[in-house]
């Protein structure tokens, strides 16, 4: 039964599985020839890598949404839209439920604003300024029917209101 439960956890929540297996390996310290501590660290690292990839994909999705909302530049719009959708899809694919408490939407938003400002400067555009708190929840971005165009429209409205032009 324990083997079936471990297989189910592996399939249902890879991140939780990595943390559980690392703890089990650390408890298994009976054979001196088996480097349980390093193997456990490597397994934990697999989980952290999946979590970090999810966080990064969320940040990149938000960055591209911000650029689409703020920039009048026509040339990059199609690529930015595709990227926003791709990063949201990748976040959804990498996500597992135990990650939820370790993903930081506030940090993702601030990183996205900084990255968007950097790229907008490449187009000779000014910084976004104070864009407030992240208007999206983790669930919004992980939604299978995530609508990048609706997200951009909402951000455009918000940016227009914040600058007093809306």
The answer, yes or no, to whether residue 4 has pLDDT greater than 80, is no
Residue pLDDT, tens place only, 110-138: 999 999 999 999 889 989 988 999 999 99
Domain ranges, residue 53: 2-162
CA 56/CA 46 separation, integer angstroms: 15
Domain count, the chain: 1
The 10s digit of each residue's pLDDT in 81-105 is 999 999 999 999 999 999 999 999 9
> Taking the alpha carbons of 108, 110, 111, 115 in that order, is the dihedral positive or negative?
positive
Q: Grade residue 11 by pLDDT with cuts at 50, 70 and 90.
A: confident
Q: What is the pTM of this model?
A: 0.86
pLDDT at 37 over 70: yes
Q: What is the DSSP letter of 100?
A: G
Total residues belonging to the chain: 166
CATH code at 96?
1.20.1220.20
């Amino acid at each position: 039964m324990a083997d079936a439960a471990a297989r189910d956890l592996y399939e249902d929540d890879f991140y939780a599985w990595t943390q559980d297996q690392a703890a089990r390996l650390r408890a298994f310290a009976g054979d001196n020839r088996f480097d349980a501590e390093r193997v456990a660290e490597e397994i934990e690292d697999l989980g952290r890598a999946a979590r970090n990839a999810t966080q990064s994909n969320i940040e990149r999705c938000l960055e591209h949404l911000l650029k689409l909302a703020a920039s009048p530049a026509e040339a990059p719009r199609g690529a930015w839209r595709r990227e926003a959708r791709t990063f949201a899809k990748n976040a959804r694919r990498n996500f597992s439920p135990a990650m939820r408490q370790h993903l930081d939407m506030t940090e993702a938003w601030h990183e996205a604003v900084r990255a968007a400002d950097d790229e907008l400067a490449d187009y000779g555009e000014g910084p976004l300024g104070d864009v407030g708190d992240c208007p999206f929840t983790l669930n919004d971005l992980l939604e299978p029917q995530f609508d990048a165009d609706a997200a951009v429209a909402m951000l455009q409205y918000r940016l227009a209101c914040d600058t007093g032009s809306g």
